[in-house]
Each structure stands twice: as C-alpha cells, then as structure tokens.
Amino acid sequence: MASTFNFYFNRRNLAVFSLLTLGGSYFVLKSRTLAAKRRQRLEGDFHVDASRSGGGI
C-alpha cells in the first residue's frame, strides 16, 4: 500500500502540487481584494440597474 503512495509523492509531483496550491491561493486572495475594493467604491453610489428599478412612478 505504501508503495502506491510513493508514486504520487515524488519531487516533481510535489513541486507541481505546491505551485498549483500557491497559484490558487493567490487567485482567491486577489479576487477577494478586488471584490472588497469594488464594494467599497460602490458604497456611496446610488446607481440602480434598470432591471432592478421600480420602473418609475
């Protein structure tokens, strides 16, 4: 059983896995900061999309 796991945990696979993990975490953090920045920018804005408006009087 242990020999089957040694196939997955060699140097190359661990390096690829760590790069994918770092890239994914960078993407998550970047999207969170962009969403927070967008939310902060729109906080004082009273713009409403036409599809979400009450349709006038």
pLDDT tens digits, 12-25 = 999 999 999 999 99
The answer, yes or no, to whether residue 2 has pLDDT greater than 60, is: no
Alpha helices per DSSP H over the chain:
2-8, 11-41
Alpha-carbon span 39 to 31, nearest angstrom: 12
pLDDT in tens, 4-54: 777 778 889 999 999 999 999 999 999 999 998 888 877 766 777 777 767
Q: What is the pLDDT of residue 24?
A: 96
